[in-house]
Amino acid sequence: MRYLLAALMLCVLHACSPVSHRKLTKALKTTESHFQDHTGFVVYDVAKGKTVFDFNGSKYFTPASNTKIFTLYSALKILGDSVPALEYIQRPDSLIFWGTGDPSFLYSEVYYDSGVYDFLKNVDAELYFSSANFGTTHFGSGWAWDDYNSGYSSERSPFPIYGNAVSVVADQEILRISPRYFAPAFSKGAPAEAPEVIRALDTNRFTFRPADQPGLLKEIRVPFKTDSSTFHALLSDTLKRPVYAVHKPLPAYTNTLFSIHVDSLYSVMMKESDNFIAEQLLMMCANVLSDTLDPKIAIAFMKAHYLKDLPDEPVWVDGSGLSRYNLFTPRSVVSLWKKIWDDVPRERLFPLLATGGVDGTIRKWYYADKPYIFGKTGTLSNNHCLSGFLVTRKGEILIFSFMNSNYTSGSNAIRRNMQEILKNIHEHY
């Protein structure tokens, strides 16, 4: 492996501007042969306004979390500057409210001092919540069912709370559980190599397995079931006042309570690849377009109005990329980034993205004295992608999409290979 990477580096190292198609193509063909994978790589020069390299750019790949680029663009087009937190009708003795899908309420990954808690806590009226506008399933099409216990696979819901997950800090047999509402639902299991929490498949019953060695401290996030009874009980416990259930369709005219700035969500979604935020954002877009929280509504709208000129029609089914049904081509991903680049100033856009060697999912990769990679990763087993912006040593902006599917080696070997190729383009383009 070490010798292969060195050879690939040399192939690109001596390429001069413009990128040597022959040497780069040879390097990528060698990559496909060695890893037995499917590789696509497209590079677009913003200043020149043209694609300067295309290897399998028209082939479809599993994008994984590169799907979040489509979700970001949708939110940029549909949502305003502030997040709509809830819809409500206030009467003298009651407040009826509906969720918009806003994921930020009491979610620790997001700064959530939004006023929503105080609004619900202090309103002088009885609280009634309706989930009648929730028009989809808690899990997306094509998600792996056995991810239900993993922190990256929280359920979708109309009014999320605490990120729809239980946070547990475990130090041997001492647990700090948030929210405390779930503490009675925990029991102790047999010791494990590291602390772990296992939720029953269909209920909110949790088993804590302590570490078999002392001194191991770990924070664990486990999604909880978001059924109606759990939601009302949990919100009531949180607000310390009753929240009653009512089944009432969303009226044509309601008041809207706004919460945080949208970039607070976008940055966590793009930097940390937060699946929960991505899924909820797409439902929020649907809420703006209709009276129903259903990601299919947002996807259909975007494909009909803003994505119909992509080089290849996207096969797009969810907001996060957890589904393996999603399929995009590298040249379409590049075209999408160009649309975003045209709409969003660099000063706003780049801070929203993972930055090589600095933060997000590529903080341990693409080191340089001055950051040169700004983008979005996408990883599922046997699939890894990185798409975004590359700033050359000369300061030129390149948009790229590097997609790898169906390899059987470890993903770090793929990442090292990508790192060498992108680094040498940065240095020699």
Q: What is the amino acid identity at position 299?
A: I
Top-confidence residue, 45 or 27: 45
- Least trusted range by pLDDT, from 9-18, 241-250, 263-272: 9-18
Q: Pick the range with the lowest mean pLDDT from 108-117, 302-311, 382-391.
A: 108-117
**Is the confidence at residue 6, as pLDDT, over 70?**
no
Mean pLDDT for 229-235 is 97
Give the max Cα distance, the chain.
Answer: 75
pLDDT recorded at residue 171: 67
Distances (CA, A) of 37 to 304, 405, 406: 33, 6, 5
Average pLDDT of 208-231? Answer: 86
Q: Express each pLDDT in 302-339 by its tens digit.
A: 999 999 999 999 999 999 999 999 999 999 999 999 99
Share of the chain above pLDDT 70, in %: 93
How much is the pLDDT for 217?
67
Q: Which own/partner pairs from 187-192 qualify as long-range (CB within 8 Å, at least 24 positions apart)?
A: none
Which of the pair, 85 or 191, is modelled with greater confidence? 85
pLDDT, one tens digit per residue, over 92-112 is 999 999 999 999 999 999 876
Mean pLDDT of all residues in the chain?
A: 92
The structural domains of the chain, with segments of one domain joined by +, span 2-63+327-428, 161-225
Mean pLDDT of all residues in 124-149: 96
Token match 């996408």: residue?
Answer: 378
Q: Would the pLDDT of 21 be above 50? A: yes
Q: What CATH number belongs to 2-63+327-428?
A: 3.40.710.10
Comparing 108-122, 311-325, 413-427, which segment has the lowest mean pLDDT? 108-122
